[in-house]
Amino acid sequence: MRAGKNHRSRVFVALLVVCCALNLSSIVAAASQGASSSSELLDQGRKLLEAGKLAEAELILDRAEKLAPSDPVILNLDAKVKGRLGEYASAGALLKRVIRLTPQSAPAHVDLAIALADSGDLNSALAETATAISIDPALAIAHLNRARILSDMNQDREARDEFALAARLAPGNPDCYFYWSLGERAQRNFTKETELLRKVVKLQPSNVKAYIKLADSLLHQNRTAEAVAGLRIALAIDPNSAQALYKLSRALHNTDPEESNRLSDQFLRLKAQNSVVDQAKALANEAFHAFTVQNWRESVRLFSEALETCGDCEIESTLHRDLGLTLCRDGQIERGAEELRKALALNPEDRDAAKALEMIPTR
């Protein structure tokens, strides 16, 4: 349920955002919100969420929530966005308000259970799933999330029963089989794991992660030919999957050493590309140092150089955002806005870029 990124790569970013956010307000006037109704804002927020623009959706829905603090639809959607952005405590608080307004809504109890589980409160999350099931015993998503929570609590037998029930209630939901397979793997039940993952890839033919896990399961059973076939499919879907490249190279080591070596070289080239990211990060740290001494032009130059070095690397969106904020601090508002829009196009979850852009049009 949970994922994280390298902490070091966030250090200069977090500091820069704080400084820029404080200074941007002295250049750009605070946004004067329009007189949109809560229903109009809800519609805007829903469209932004459907488009994957989470940060912008959050801003709109927060505004809608202030206009209609007792509207469970607005509260629920705002909580959904905050949950996807990792703001689990805020999402949980909103969902508790939803439940107070609609105590017999089973899906609302499930949503709260998810937020509580993501924040680490598994016991409370489990209780919410029990409430949801008592309201609607046939709600598959309630059984699925109860199974996942039980699995996280190492209650494997109970989890297996819930996974099986969820799959019977919603046989077309690949999540039932995927998360069930993780529990079977933890118990080293590779035959069952394979069976479940085959159902996942049948329902989701482009799921690279499932194909790689299926190959792993098959390799544990010495079914190498089937594993190789699965890894080839994974690479056909994503030729830059380092995990699939490495595993396929290893699987072919004895049967096809020539292809194994070729794949190994490809894997090493992919690893080398990662060093580009390290260079870009080093330049970005220098840019931040220039920012701290208010050398805006030097900071802009270094962030621009970091972007050139990065290309389409994993921190491209962050660099566009930080360059945009620095340009705004230097008074180059239009150029700054352009960079912020690029950042948001690459990462719709970037709340800092979204908030800065919302401020700029009212200048």
Q: Say which residues have a Cβ less than 8 Å from residue 195's Cβ, sequence separation at least 6.
A: none
Q: What is the DSSP letter of 362?
A: G
User: How many Cα atoms sit within 13 Å of 239 on the Cβ side?
Assistant: 2
The tens-digit pLDDT sequence of the chain (363 residues) is 333 333 333 333 333 333 333 343 333 333 334 447 999 999 999 998 888 888 888 889 999 999 999 999 999 999 999 988 888 889 999 999 999 999 999 999 999 999 999 888 999 999 999 999 999 999 999 999 999 999 989 898 899 999 999 999 999 999 999 999 998 988 889 999 999 999 999 999 999 999 999 999 999 999 999 999 999 999 999 998 888 999 999 999 989 999 999 988 888 887 777 678 888 888 888 888 788 778 888 889 899 989 988 888 888 999 999 999 999 888 889 899 999 999 999 999 888 888 888 887 554
Q: What are phi and psi of 41, to 5 degrees?
A: -65, -40
Domains belonging to the chain, first-starting first, are 276-363 (1.25.40.10)
Question: Could you tell me the CA-to-CA distances from 160 to 171, 181, 203, 288, 310 in Å, in that order?
Answer: 15, 10, 20, 50, 45
3-state helix, strand, coil in the chain (%, to 5): 75, 0, 25
For CA atoms 322, 326, 328, 334, give the dihedral sign. negative
